[in-house]
């Protein structure tokens, strides 16, 4: 992709963030590679702009181009801000997860509707600081409208062997070590469906940035609560590889659906517009705002304080 343009003049509304085992999206025509510098640095990797049925979509590899970024090191603020700066308002985020429930079998897909935060507070997790205070609602961390579209695409691929679960609670742990057996059993008793290390702070930051955000999970193991073998990286990668074609098929069919004209208001995030900006404008009084916080938030929402 060395000779591709490094800028792109049209807004790109939809992005896919690829996780473990999904470092590229094949089968799309690459048209540009952009690397926006944000107040929080560069994104995990240059963002590939790909064309899908004549509509541009963005792809960003969460752990970098070579899987060199650990879950606690993912620059989520830069990732979300960079995507928003190129026009993205809908993020479909892919994640390899451990299953905490018997009926979610390795290689099954889950469209989660809840998250329990088991990160340790060491990841930068908000855009609103340094003299700009803001509190967004996060009762439902994903986007109910998009989740219906994703579920329907998954069920339509049942004939290809895609098994889709329409809801579930993600336990997002700190990692990078996997859980102890005691932890795994506690998470089950809390009602956790699946476990990963990546849903947060990504989902929180997308909400602060007024973006539509939905994670698609693919189970790669039964963590360590089950009487089968305990999770390890080889197991995760083997299931990702074995079911990679279905993962790509599912992402492709979600993109096919989302680029349809009938979803244009939805993917433009019209229903989130103003939810954050309206709140931060009145939360911190003008006299108390900090210059750095204002400059940072203006990168996300140009003109919000002028």
Ligand X SMILES: CSC[C@H]1O[C@H](OP(=O)(O)O)[C@H](O)[C@@H]1O
Ligand Y SMILES: Nc1ncnc2[nH]cnc12
Bind-site residues for substrate: 197, 221-223
Compare residues 100 and 251 and give the one whose CB is closer to ligand Y.
100
**Interface with ligand Y includes 108 (CB under 6 A)?**
no
Give the tokens for residue 7: 């800028």
**Interface with ligand Y includes 225 (CB under 6 A)?**
no
Is 232 an annotated catalytic residue?
no
Partner from ligand X, ligand Y, none binding residue 195, C-beta < 5-8 Å depending on class: ligand Y
Rounded to a whole number, what is the distance in angstroms from the first to the last CA of the chain? 39
Half-sphere exposure of 173 (CA within 13 A, CB side): 17
**Interface with ligand Y includes 18 (CB under 6 A)?**
no
Is 221 an annotated catalytic residue?
yes
- Number of residues in the chain: 306
Catalytic residue, candidates 3, 143, 221, 227: 221
- How far apart CA 14 and CA 259 sit, in angstroms, is 8
Q: How far is the CB of 59 from ligand X (least distance, A)?
A: 14
Q: Residue numbers of the site for ligand X (CB under 6 A)?
A: 19-20, 62-63, 71, 95-96, 175, 196-198, 233, 236
List the one residue out of 70, 62, 50, 126 whose CA is nearest residue 94.
62
Half-sphere exposure of 222 (CA within 13 A, CB side): 12
- How far apart CA 83 and CA 115 sit, in angstroms, is 22
Compare residues 235 and 279 and give the one whose CB is closer to ligand X.
235
Compare residues 20 and 151 and give the one whose CB is closer to ligand Y.
20
Provide the pairing of β-strand 14-18 with 55-61. parallel
| Residues classed as catalytic | 221, 223
Residues forming the site for ligand Y (CB under 6 A):
96-98, 173, 178, 195-197, 220-221, 223, 231, 236
């Amino acid at each position: 992709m060395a000779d591709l343009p490094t800028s792109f003049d049209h807004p790109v509304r939809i992005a896919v963030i690829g996780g473990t085992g999904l470092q590229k999206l094949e089968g799309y025509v690459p048209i540009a590679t952009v690397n926006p510098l944000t107040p929080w640095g560069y994104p995990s990797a240059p963002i590939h702009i790909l064309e899908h049925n004549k509509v541009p979509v963005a792809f960003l590899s969460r752990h970098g181009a070579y899987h060199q970024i650990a879950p606690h090191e993912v620059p989520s603020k830069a990732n979300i801000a960079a995507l928003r700066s190129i026009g993205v308002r809908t993020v479909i985020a892919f994640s390899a997860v451990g299953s905490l429930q018997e009926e979610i079998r390795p290689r099954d897909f889950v469209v989660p509707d809840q998250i329990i935060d088991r990160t340790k507070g060491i990841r930068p997790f908000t855009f609103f600081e340094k003299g700009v205070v803001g509190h967004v609602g996060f009762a439902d961390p994903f986007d109910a409208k998009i989740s219906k579209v994703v579920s329907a695409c998954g069920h339509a691929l049942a004939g290809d062997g895609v098994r889709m679960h329409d809801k579930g609670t993600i336990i997002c742990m700190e990692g990078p070590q996997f859980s102890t057996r005691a932890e795994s059993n506690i998470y089950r008793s809390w009602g956790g469906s699946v476990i990963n290390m990546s849903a947060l702070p990504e989902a929180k930051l997308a909400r602060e940035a007024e973006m539509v955000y939905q994670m698609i999970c693919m189970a790669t193991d039964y963590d360590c609560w089950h009487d089968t073998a305990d999770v390890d990286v080889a197991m995760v990668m083997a299931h990702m590889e074995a079911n990679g074609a279905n993962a790509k098929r599912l992402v492709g069919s979600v993109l096919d659906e989302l680029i349809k004209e009938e979803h244009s208001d939805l993917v433009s995030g019209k229903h989130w517009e103003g939810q954050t900006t309206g709140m931060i404008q009145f939360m911190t009084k003008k006299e108390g705002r900090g210059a750095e916080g204002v400059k940072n938030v203006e990168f996300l929402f140009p003109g919000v304080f002028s």
